[in-house]
Structure 1
Amino acid sequence: MDAGDRYEVADLGSAAAGVRRVDWAERSMPVLRALRERFAVDRPFAGIRVAACLQVTAETAVLLRTLVAGGAEVRLAASNPLSTQDDTAAALAAEYGVGVFARSGVDAETYRRHVAAVLDVAPTLIFDEGGDLVDELHAAGRADLAAGVRAGCESTTSGVLRLRQMARAGALRFPMVALDQTPTRLLVDNRYGTGQSTVDGVLRATSMLLAGRTVVVAGYGQCGTGVAERARGLGARVVVTEVDPLRALAATLAGYQVLPMAEAAAVGEVFVTATGNRDVLRAEHFALMRDGAVLANAGHFDVEIDIPALTDLAVERHSGVRAHTDEYVLADGRRLLLLAEGRVVNLTAAEGNPAAVMDIAFAGQALTAAWLASAELPPGVHAVPDEIDREVAELRLAATHVRLDTLTPAQAGYLNSWHRAD
């Protein structure tokens, strides 16, 4: 097998820099380190072939090293070429035994070729982030491989939405687990991780002062909640837009103003979309925005901001006025600043969620994969078992030396009885 069958990276010579980057991330990932030691003994992935389409970051490398230690053969493509760390990709290929097909900034054709290449391993398990592996396995040219897939994991809200639609239509050919819906992931990864890293991406791309500015957050799910909290913590006035009445109520009770986007567009200075839906910011909103308004997307797909409509409205486009910042000049002279080409801003303009956050998220993914390696599930979308999510929380607390109270026998008995206490 020649090198072209095993990897395609930008520069294999950057592997040493990638190793240093991965080592730094591992310092904040004690749960995955502990799982790697466990898996090296138990070998839950012996004979398992894993095809992964994930963000190519140092934290992902720690996850994949854990799978390899457990006996897995792993191939990786980048789910977002703009976030690919080329030195990490090189380290995975040269030092950690992972077949990597990822280079920063590749075009759509190369991206599709990379996705196809990881499936050449004829996977037993798949790790998807946005559904591209699932799409490819259900396409006419690769559908024969679907029969060999035992199960898979989907990491994004947008990807899970698509999977549920496939399952309802009877089109999903193998079981997929909705990783993004566990309590630990919703709380830690989405709210605290994405909340912090999205604001980090906006600040790195613009170097702006958020204090005193009006930040409009579209969507008050866990990600939107985290963005709103972090922006308010830096002194911003936060406006929330929502279509769900319960989430809108939660936003008002948290002290945020809730407006329709048609009204928020006129007052906002920074806009962050976090809905998982398309066309959240549209032409009619761009027409109302102030000069210098900043547009950023925290969702996985680049459809939440209607970029074709923005392009049509612009009379000039200045690419790279700052790193990851493009300026669109409208006919009346107003300038709108689009960050990260409308892609997931925290991974494109920043470095994604902190390693401590991804330790929790990826520990759940590793334990779920170990369960799937032997589980027998029907095609459809499945939840992560509660005991796995609980184990992740317990492992992280133990690793950070947090101790819990325990119930007394009387307390345990009281909770498990319908009789009134004496």
Structure 2
Amino acid sequence: MESFEKARLEAFFQRVTQRFPAPQPTSSLIITHLLPERPAFLQAMAHLTHIAAVLPKPRSIHETAAAQTRQHFTVDTLTRAQFADPATALTYLEDTAAGKNLLLLDVGGYFAGTIEPLCAQFSGNIRGVIEDTENGLQRYLDLDKLPCPLYSVARSPLKEPEDHLVGHSIVFSTEALIRSRGDILSSLDACVIGYGKLGTSIARMLHAKNVQVTIYDDDPVKRVQARAHGFHVPTTRAEAIRGCGLIICATGNLALRYEDFAVLPNGAYIASVTSSEDELELTALDHLYRRTETGPHLTRYATTGHYFYVLAGGNAVNFLHGASVGTYIHLVQAEILAATALLTSDDHAPGLHELTPDARRIIAEIWLDYFNR
């Protein structure tokens, strides 16, 4: 990031935090993709809360950003396991922020499985959770009852530009890896599993590159939408992936299971928009398929008479190339800052909350002042 870009971003965040101040002392645990622009966001969060620890998502850590972050904040290792067990999760919170008012910033529902015992047993007070992703939001909504306030930015109109451009970045990185083997996108029929905002963007981008696209989604409403948009929509997942040379998984919720891999044609490529444990049941193949690294971020799975390729180890393929969505990411970060200020300023009832349309308009106007140039 150039110095003038950094200065402009810092000024943008300063104006957002001035517009949405946080008067009450509160600590925060922040799960985040630690990408090049993220230190500026963390500094803005530090104006609103005391950052008890930063927990970078393990497959999206930019080393320079990590080094900058360590200069100012505690940076701990993040795993699913540490927040899957209530006792382990509670111990971590007590070691990190005992007795504090605490906000949890989440990306992917890491705290969802243990949020109920954490709210009940933590020595401090969990003021609420802010969740960035649709995948994570679904994990919280699957709970019988939310024990604390949950602010979601996943379905915000301010996130729509990011979702659109993430779809572009997924296709860009997928194409780059496929070309590294001498193949091209337009020679492959593609199946996109999951027709949410990311899946829709991916499908449209593939279509623009002259790729024949099939859509599968467990939700029949999504399949109707895909059909109306001109895509082929089979009845079953197996029918959808059969014969497709490229499968892009965009569900966040186990797109390909053990039995699905056998249906793939020889030489098919598999890409994902999130972590491998969320999208792909690859561990079930350990005793059946041999794994061979055939190039950077290309793994060949082979058994007698059958083989396919997994891109980026089954993890979000766009992070191989920075996952950049330009300055639109700052709209989402600003909404997170505003939600942080609201959670620290007022008591909220347990349940799902979103920013008001007026608050989102304020953020959009500030963003246009700084980045619409």
Question: TM-score, with normalisation over the residues of structure 1?
Answer: 0.76
Aligned: 1:132 with 2:116: no
Aligned: 1:338 with 2:313: no
Q: State the partner residue of 1:16.
A: none
Q: State the partner residue of 1:193.
A: 165
- Which of 351, 355, 358 aligns to 2:329? It is 358
- Which of 83, 86, 106 aligns to 2:63? It is 86
Matched to 2:243, the amino acid is V
Aligned: 1:240 with 2:215: yes
Q: State the partner residue of 2:284.
A: 309
Distance in 1 (alpha carbons) for counterparts of 2:249 and 2:213: 13
- Which of 153, 167, 172 aligns to 1:179? It is 153
Give yes or no for contact 1:302–1:344 (8 Å, CA) kept in 2.
Answer: no
What does residue range 34-183 of structure 1 map to in structure 2 within 5 Å?
34-37=12-15, 39=17, 44=22, 47-70=25-48, 72-78=50-56, 80-94=57-71, 97-102=72-77, 120-122=96-98, 124-139=102-117, 144-145=121-122, 147-166=124-143, 169-170=144-145, 172-183=146-157
Matched to 1:277, the amino acid is N
What does residue range 161-310 of structure 1 map to in structure 2 within 5 Å?
161-166=138-143, 169-170=144-145, 172-185=146-159, 187-190=160-163, 192-207=164-179, 208-259=183-234, 260-278=236-254, 280-299=255-274, 302-310=277-285
- Which of 323, 326, 335 aligns to 2:299? It is 326
Aligned: 1:368 with 2:339: yes
Distance in 1 (alpha carbons) for counterparts of 2:299 and 2:12: 43
Deviation at 1:137, TM superposition (A): 4.8
Distance in 2 (alpha carbons) for counterparts of 1:86 and 1:300: 19
Matched residue count: 364
Give yes or no for contact 1:313–1:331 (8 Å, CA) kept in 2.
Answer: no
Deviation at 1:29, TM superposition (A): 9.6
Distance in 2 (alpha carbons) for counterparts of 1:227 and 1:26: 32
CA 55–335 in structure 1, closer or farther in 2 if over 3 Å, else same: same
What does the per-residue CA deviation read over 1:190-229, in whole Å, with 9 as the maximum and x for residues that have no partner?
A: 2x13201212332344334212321110111111001112
Q: Which moved more, 1:41-50 or 1:338-347?
A: 41-50
Deviation at 1:158, TM superposition (A): 1.8
Q: Secondary structure at the match of 1:81?
A: strand
Deviation at 1:149, TM superposition (A): 1.3
Q: Secondary structure at the match of 2:199?
A: helix
Distance in 2 (alpha carbons) for counterparts of 1:203 and 1:89: 28
Give yes or no for contact 1:270–1:293 (8 Å, CA) kept in 2.
Answer: yes
Higher CA-based Rg: 1
Deviation at 1:57, TM superposition (A): 1.5
- Which of 33, 38, 57 aligns to 2:11? It is 33
CA 91–179 in structure 1, closer or farther in 2 if over 3 Å, else same: same
Distance in 1 (alpha carbons) for counterparts of 2:210 and 2:112: 42
Deviation at 1:377, TM superposition (A): 0.8
RMSD of aligned residue pairs (Cα, Å): 3.2
Q: Secondary structure at the match of 1:177?
A: strand
CA 400–88 in structure 1, closer or farther in 2 if over 3 Å, else same: closer
* Structure 1: stretches of 5+ with no match in the other structure: 1-22, 403-422
Give yes or no for contact 2:168–2:201 (8 Å, CA) kept in 1.
Answer: yes
Deviation at 1:271, TM superposition (A): 0.5
CA 31–56 in structure 1, closer or farther in 2 if over 3 Å, else same: closer
Q: Secondary structure at the match of 2:332?
A: helix
Deviation at 1:30, TM superposition (A): 5.2
Give yes or no for contact 1:29–1:355 (8 Å, CA) kept in 2.
Answer: no
Deviation at 1:328, TM superposition (A): 0.6
Q: Secondary structure at the match of 1:124?
A: strand
Deviation at 1:71, TM superposition (A): 5.5
Distance in 1 (alpha carbons) for counterparts of 2:262 and 2:239: 12
What does the per-residue CA deviation read over 1:294-339, in whole Å, with 9 as the maximum and x for residues that have no partner?
A: 111214562322213333431x211x3222222110221x321112
CA 210–32 in structure 1, closer or farther in 2 if over 3 Å, else same: farther
Question: TM-score, with normalisation over the residues of structure 2?
Answer: 0.85
Q: Secondary structure at the match of 1:132?
A: coil
What does the per-residue CA deviation read over 1:163-215, in whole Å, with 9 as the maximum and x for residues that have no partner?
A: 1122xx23x33111111011221x2122x132012123323443342123211
Give yes or no for contact 2:27–2:49 (8 Å, CA) kept in 1.
Answer: no
Distance in 1 (alpha carbons) for counterparts of 2:92 and 2:64: 20
CA 309–62 in structure 1, closer or farther in 2 if over 3 Å, else same: same
Q: Secondary structure at the match of 1:198?
A: helix
What does the per-residue CA deviation read over 1:245-301, in whole Å, with 9 as the maximum and x for residues that have no partner?
A: 3322222222211123212222211101112322x2234332222221111121456
Distance in 1 (alpha carbons) for counterparts of 2:116 and 2:222: 35
* Structure 2: stretches of 5+ with no match in the other structure: none
What does the per-residue CA deviation read over 1:348-379, in whole Å, with 9 as the maximum and x for residues that have no partner?
A: x3322423231121111111211222121111
Give yes or no for contact 1:195–1:223 (8 Å, CA) kept in 2.
Answer: yes
